[in-house]
Chain A
Amino acid sequence: GDSVTQMEGPVTLSEEAFLTINCTYTATGYPSLFWYVQYPGEGLQLLLKATKADDKGSNKGFEATYRKETTSFHLEKGSVQVSDSAVYFCALGSGGSYIPTFGRGTSLIVHP
Chain B
Amino acid sequence: DTGVSQNPRHKITKRGQNVTFRCDPISEHNRLYWYRQTLGQGPEFLTYFQNEAQLEKSRLLSDRFSAERPKGSFSTLEIQRTEQGDSAMYLCASSLGDRYEKLFFGSGTQLSVL
Asked whether, in the complex, the Cβ of A104 is within 8 Å of the Cβ of B102, the reply is no
Q: Collect the chain A residues with CB atoms within 8 Å of residue B48's CB.
A: 97, 99
Residue count of chain B within 8 Å CB distance of chain A = 24
**Complex alpha-carbon distance, A97 and B100, angstroms:** 7
Q: Is the CB of B42 within 8 A of A99?
A: no
Contact (Cβ within 8 A) B107 A41: yes
A103 and B103 contact, Cβ closer than 8 Å, known pairs A44-B91, A97-B55, A97-B56: no
Which residue of B is nearest A43, CB measured?
B105
Q: Does A42 contact B (CB under 8 A)?
A: yes
Give the number of residues in A that approach B within 8 Å (Cβ atoms). 22
Instruction: Name the residue of chain A whose CB is nearest to the CB of B55.
Output: A97
Do residues A100 and B99 form an inter-chain contact, with CB atoms below 8 A? no
Chain A residue nearest to B99 (CB atoms) is A98
A102 within 8 A of B: yes
**Contact among A32, A43, A45, A105 for B42, CB-based, below 8 A:** A105
A22 surroundings in chain B (CB, below 8 A): none
In the complex, whether B4 has a CB less than 8 A from a CB of chain A is yes
Interface residues of A in 71-112 (CB under 8 A from B): 89, 91, 93, 97-105
**Cross-chain contact B100 with A100 (CB below 8 angstroms):** yes
Shortest CB-to-CB span from B11 to chain A, Å, is: 17
Tell me, yes or no, whether B21 is within 8 Å of chain A by CB.
no
B40 at the interface (CB under 8 A from A): yes
Most chain B CB neighbours (cut-off 10 Å) among A41, A45, A100, A101? A100
Beta-carbon contacts under 8 Å, B36-57 to A: 40-45, 48, 55-56
Which residues in A have some Cβ–Cβ distance to B below 8 Å?
4, 32, 36, 41-46, 49, 89, 91, 93, 97-105
